[in-house]
């Protein structure tokens, strides 16, 4: 299962390579002090959400309340799994992104660079790894630069931009057809912002035209987004950029965080018919990444004070009834979230640091290298190296060792 893409940071990433109730004081200029992280509780219940009428605006349900909490004691428990390096045969460049569909079905994208010839790049090739052999699918489309690959049971999609099309930097996608040929598309004139994927059924595309936005699933239906509150115009923000993150589990279950007319991010659920607001977040929060680990199990990595870059220092967790900040270590800092179940949630941290939530406690350990991308699915965890000034090691990824007693 692939993590969702946080849409506001997409092009930056392409161009450059989480007691009694009291009312809190506004967070300080930086991340909140590690000895006083707030805990948030949404006053929405699962039954209330299911019986709510379709929401047309960001009208609030009951607000969040806060109370102080101390971080977890150090040291926290170690990871139960270690990682081994794997060099993919026949891959001649560094791996920058990966995704998977199951055991022995890993898809990777290699590092890409523009040359001094207009419209020409090297690298940016797509490969499929079956556990022993690598199959090459080449560079998807001419005159395009790609930064991510996402796969589902019915689609393989690469995401990037086309700097030479119509003289502007346009968002761009390419889908692999059953014939093995790439279908190149610049969204047919729509304002195309990014992709998010389900637990494996579909790859989703967010498209925007005028005031109307929608999600389109590969091989599936189109999902309309809620109607904007007109007051959001007061903030002078581009409407697509109001959306901070989307994580879809299926055509009848998904979650979204976006900024409302009141200036706060709002947490939404999609039930197959309409989006219902569950709770507002603190106005100083911003989403770094989010992932749906189960039908009603969502993890959101949180930055503070509107930061658009850098790691997240807090975690929000939705269990179907309550949205709450999770107690984390003082030095907690993550950039991505991935999971295959509510008791196997992974967080890619700074450098080689990894965290895992096993359903009861948060664990910490290390990867063999600084982590740039991660895929968690069906008991497997794969890692791609972060880009460095020297580029990524050629063809190198890492795989988690099997759980003790499990069949490799």
Is position 51 within any domain?
Answer: no
DSSP per-residue letters across 90-104: T--SBEEEEEEEETT
d(CA 289, CA 201): 20
Q: What is the pLDDT along the chain (408 residues), one digit of tens a residue?
A: 554 444 334 333 333 333 333 233 333 333 333 333 443 433 332 222 222 223 333 334 445 544 445 667 676 899 989 999 999 999 999 999 999 998 899 999 998 876 666 656 778 899 999 999 999 999 988 777 888 999 999 999 998 877 655 455 567 788 999 999 999 876 554 566 678 888 889 999 887 766 667 888 988 888 888 765 444 444 445 666 788 899 999 899 999 998 887 888 899 999 998 888 998 998 889 999 999 999 899 999 999 986 778 899 999 999 998 898 888 988 899 999 999 999 999 999 999 999 999 998 899 999 999 999 999 998 899 999 998 766 678 999 999 998 765 554
d(CA 135, CA 96): 17
Is position 89 within any domain?
Answer: yes
Q: What is the pLDDT of residue 114?
A: 67
Is position 406 within any domain?
Answer: no
Taken as a whole, the chain contains a residue count of 408
Is position 70 within any domain?
Answer: no
We report the CATH number of the domain holding residue 361 as 2.130.10.10
User: By three-state DSSP, how is residue 233 classified?
Assistant: helix
End-to-end CA distance of the chain: 19
Whether the link from the prior residue into 75 is cis, omega within 30° of 0, is: yes
Is position 119 within any domain?
Answer: yes
Record the pTM. Answer: 0.82
Tell me if 387 sits within 8 A of 17, measured CB to CB: yes
Phi, psi of 286 (to 5 degrees): -140, 140
Phi, psi of 194 (to 5 degrees): 165, -175
Tell me if 186 sits within 8 A of 169, measured CB to CB: no
d(CA 65, CA 90): 54
Split into its structural domains, the chain has a count of 1
Q: What is the pLDDT of residue 143?
A: 75
| Domain of 253, in residue numbers | 7-17+79-400
Tell me if 69 sits within 8 A of 371, measured CB to CB: no
Is position 27 within any domain?
Answer: no
Q: What is the pLDDT of residue 109?
A: 95
292: left (phi over 0), alpha (psi -120 to 50) or beta: beta
Q: What is the DSSP letter of 104?
A: T
CA dihedral sign of residues 391, 16, 120, 195: positive
Q: What is the pLDDT of residue 399?
A: 96
Q: What is the pLDDT of residue 24?
A: 32
d(CA 176, CA 188): 17
Q: What is the pLDDT of residue 385?
A: 94
d(CA 376, CA 149): 14
Cα Rg of the chain, angstroms = 21
d(CA 391, CA 95): 9
Q: Which run of H or of E encompasses 69?
A: strand 65-69
Is position 91 within any domain?
Answer: yes
């Amino acid at each position: 299962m692939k993590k969702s893409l946080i849409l506001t940071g997409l092009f930056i990433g392409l161009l450059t390579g989480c007691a009694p109730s009291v009312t809190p004081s506004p967070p300080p200029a930086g991340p909140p002090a590690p000895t006083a992280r707030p805990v948030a509780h949404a006053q929405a219940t699962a039954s209330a959400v299911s019986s709510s009428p379709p929401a047309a605006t960001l009208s609030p349900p009951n607000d969040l309340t806060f109370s102080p909490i101390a971080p977890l004691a150090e040291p926290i428990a170690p990871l139960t799994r270690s990682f081994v390096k794997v060099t993919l045969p026949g891959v001649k460049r560094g791996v920058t992104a990966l995704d998977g569909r199951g055991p022995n079905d890993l898809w990777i994208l290699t590092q890409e660079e523009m040359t001094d010839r207009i419209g020409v790049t090297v690298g940016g090739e797509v490969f499929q790894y079956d556990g022993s052999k690598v199959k090459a699918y080449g560079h998807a489309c001419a005159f395009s630069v790609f930064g991510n690959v996402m796969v589902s049971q019915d689609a393989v999609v690469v995401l990037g931009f086309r700097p030479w099309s119509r003289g502007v930097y346009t968002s761009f996608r390419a889908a692999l057809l059953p014939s093995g040929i790439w279908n190149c598309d610049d969204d047919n004139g729509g304002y195309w912002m990014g992709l998010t994927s389900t637990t494996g059924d579909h790859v989703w595309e967010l498209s925007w035209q005028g005031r109307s936005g929608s999600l389109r699933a590969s091989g599936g239906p189109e999902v309309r987004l809620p109607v904007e509150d007109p007051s959001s115009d007061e903030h002078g923000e581009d409407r697509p950029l109001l959306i901070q993150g989307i994580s879809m589990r299926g055509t009848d279950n998904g979650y979204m965080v976006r900024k409302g007319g009141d200036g706060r991010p709002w947490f939404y659920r999609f039930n197959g018919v309409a989006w219902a607001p569950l709770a507002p977040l603190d106005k100083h929060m911003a989403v770094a990444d989010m992932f749906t680990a189960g039908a009603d199990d969502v993890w959101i990595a949180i930055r503070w004070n509107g930061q658009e870059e850098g790691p997240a220092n807090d975690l929000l967790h939705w269990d179907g009834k309550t949205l709450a900040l999770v107690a984390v270590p003082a030095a907690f800092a993550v950039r991505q979230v991935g999971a295959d179940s509510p008791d196997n949630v992974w967080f890619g941290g700074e450098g080689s640091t990894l965290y895992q939530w096993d359903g009861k406690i948060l664990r910490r350990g290390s990867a063999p290298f600084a982590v740039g991308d991660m895929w968690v699915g069906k008991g497997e965890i794969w890692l791609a190296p972060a880009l460095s000034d020297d580029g990524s090691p050629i063809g190198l990824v890492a795989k988690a060792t099997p759980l003790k007693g499990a069949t490799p």
